[in-house]
Amino acid sequence: MPAAVKIEFISRLVDAGLRAVEATSFVSPKWVPQLGDAAEVFAALPRVDGVRYPVLVPNMAGLDRAQEAGATDIAIFAAATETFSRRNLNRGLDEALSIFAPVVDRARSSGLWVRAYLSMCFGDPWEGEVPLGQVVKVAERLVAMECDELCIGDTIGVATPGHVHELLAALGDAGMPPSSVAVHFHDTYGQALSNTLAAIEDGVRTLDAAAGGLGGCPFAESTTGNLATEDLVWMLHGLGIETGVDLEALVATSAWLAGELGRSSPSRVVRALAG
């Protein structure tokens, strides 16, 4: 996707009322060439009061590039399983966490806001179902780094509402209440919306979604896109929850992007409202 399209996409999301848009990732262009334009995209984003643009950083080099670009919000991304850590980050779980620690320390000392993603919290394509205790143990290590927010991810979309309740309860018992946790669900098995509702019922208030239901993971091939933002907003508005998002503008944005990509949007709300 050309940088100009990414910039317009993010700008349109902001215009639709979204106030936190993960803009890009300062990973190595060698490994993820699609994101080689990170600095260019970030520099061109509209600066609007109250709008945050978190960016992913995998290591100190990524943090250097993010800070040079002027980022004030960053995210690190760890895994709850050894196998996915090696496939996604090319290093084991302990080694990955040891690399993230100084990144978080420097970021916080520089006044940056830090999110910690924890992927494969419910299942791993190589290791199967991930034990609750294993997820909690890694989450505790991330929280001990004094990250501002922990986001638990269902990277391959195998979670179900019961499993979500169980994991959130286990995290709460370990001192990480749902109000301090964000959730990030992929929709591989069509459970992302129901899983998010389960998290809301437990007290989670920070919800990840992807406009148009886009996404996936190049290191976990079974993965589909994230929960569609439009589907989430439709549900939240139906629950009487104010989001500040203009659903009509959001749908138009995702329909436009689907045209740029030459494929239909997987979002049911986009397909229903955009025709």
Which CATH number is 72's domain given?
3.20.20.70
State which residues form the domain around 196: 3-229
pLDDT at 90: 73
Judge if 258 and 136 occupy the same domain: no
Judge if 210 and 259 occupy the same domain: no
What single DSSP character describes residue 210? B
**Amino acid identity for residue 232 in this structure:** L
pLDDT at 217: 55
pLDDT at 216: 60
Residues in Cβ contact with 271 at an 8 Å cutoff, skipping those fewer than 6 apart: 264, 265
How confident is the prediction for the chain on average, in pLDDT? 93
Q: Among 191, 211, 229, give the residue marking a domain's end.
A: 229
What single DSSP character describes residue 35? G
Q: What mean pLDDT is predicted for residues 234-263?
A: 96
Helix axes 192-202, 161-173, angle to 10 degrees: 40
Judge if 206 and 237 occupy the same domain: no
Q: Among 229, 247, 262, give the residue marking a domain's end.
A: 229
- pLDDT band per the 50, 70, 90 thresholds, residue 162: very high
pLDDT at 118: 96
Q: Flag whether pLDDT at 83 surpasses 90.
A: no
**Active-site residue, selected from the candidate residues 121, 147, 151, 217:** 217
For tokens 């290590």, the residue is: 141
Judge if 21 and 140 occupy the same domain: yes
Q: Flag whether pLDDT at 146 surpasses 70.
A: yes
Residues in Cβ contact with 231 at an 8 Å cutoff, skipping those fewer than 6 apart: 193, 209, 213, 267, 268, 269
Q: How far apart are CA 201 and CA 178, in angstroms?
A: 10
Judge if 28 and 82 occupy the same domain: yes
Judge if 171 and 261 occupy the same domain: no
- Check if 147 is active-site: no
β-pairing, 128-129 vs 123-124, is: antiparallel
Judge if 205 and 240 occupy the same domain: no
Q: How far apart are CA 172 and CA 45, in angstroms?
A: 37
pLDDT at 89: 72
pLDDT at 20: 97
Judge if 95 and 196 occupy the same domain: yes
Residues, the chain, total?
Answer: 275
Judge if 180 and 162 occupy the same domain: yes
**Amino acid identity for residue 128 in this structure:** G
User: Cα angle at 150 between 154 and 233, to 5 degrees?
Assistant: 60
CA 188 and chain centroid, separation: 15
Q: What mean pLDDT is predicted for residues 162-186?
A: 97
Could you read off the pLDDT of 189-206 as tens digits, one per residue?
Answer: 999 999 999 999 999 999
Judge if 163 and 248 occupy the same domain: no
Q: Flag whether pLDDT at 220 surpasses 70.
A: no
User: Count of domains in the chain?
Assistant: 2
For tokens 């109250």, the residue is: 50
- H helix runs in the chain, sequence order: 3-15, 38-43, 60-69, 82-89, 93-109, 132-144, 161-173, 192-202, 229-238, 247-261, 268-274
Judge if 140 and 166 occupy the same domain: yes
Judge if 85 and 218 occupy the same domain: yes
